[in-house]
A = this chain, B = another copy of it.
Amino acid sequence: MDTPAIELRGVARYFGERIALRDLSFTVPAGATLAVLGRNGAGKSTLLRVLATLLRAHAGEVSVLGEPLPRRAFAVRGRLGLLPHEPLLYRDLSGRENLRYHARLYGVGAERVEELLRDVRMERRADEPVRLLSRGMVQRVAVCRAVLHDPEVLLLDEARANLDPGASELVEPLVGRLAGRTRVITSHDPEAALAEADLALGLRDGRPTFTLPADQVTPDLVRELYA
The answer to whether A41 touches B162 (Cβ under 8 A) is: no
The answer to whether B41 touches A137 (Cβ under 8 A) is: yes
The answer to whether B161 touches A162 (Cβ under 8 A) is: yes
A136 contact from B15, B41, B132, Cβ within 8 A: B41
The answer to whether B162 touches A190 (Cβ under 8 A) is: no
Is A85 engaged at the interface, CB distance under 8 Å to the other chain?
A: yes
Q: CB-nearest residue of chain B relative to A168?
A: B188
Residues of B within 8 A of A166 (CB): 39, 226-227
Residues of B within 8 A of A85 (CB): 135, 162
* CB-CB under 8 A for A40 and B226, given A85-B162, A132-B15, A188-B162: no
Residues of B within 8 A of A134 (CB): 40-41, 45
Interface set, chain A 24-79, CB cutoff 8 A to B = 38-41, 45
The answer to whether A161 touches B164 (Cβ under 8 A) is: no
Residues of B within 8 A of A137 (CB): 40-41
Is A163 engaged at the interface, CB distance under 8 Å to the other chain?
A: yes
* CB-CB under 8 A for A140 and B40, given A85-B162, A132-B15, A188-B165: yes
Count A interface residues, CB 8 Å.
28
Q: How far is the CA of A39 from the CA of B125 in the complex (A)?
A: 14
* CB-CB under 8 A for A164 and B226, given A85-B135, A188-B136: yes
Q: CB-nearest residue of chain B relative to A120?
A: B40
Q: Mark A138-171, 1 if CB is under 8 A from B, else 0.
A: 0110000000000000000010011111110000
Interface set, chain A 82-116, CB cutoff 8 A to B = 85
Instruction: Give residues in A with beta carbon < 8 Å to B.
Output: 15, 38-41, 45, 85, 125, 132-137, 139-140, 158, 161-167, 188, 190, 226-227
Q: Which 7 A-B pairs have the closest CB atoms?
A: A40-B136, A166-B226, A41-B134, A85-B135, A39-B164, A165-B226, A164-B188
For the complex with contacts A85-B162, A161-B162, A166-B226, 17 further pairs of A-B residues with Cβ separation under 8 Å are A15-B132, A39-B136, A39-B166, A40-B134, A40-B136, A40-B137, A40-B139, A40-B140, A40-B163, A40-B167, A41-B137, A45-B135, A161-B161, A162-B188, A164-B188, A165-B188, A166-B227
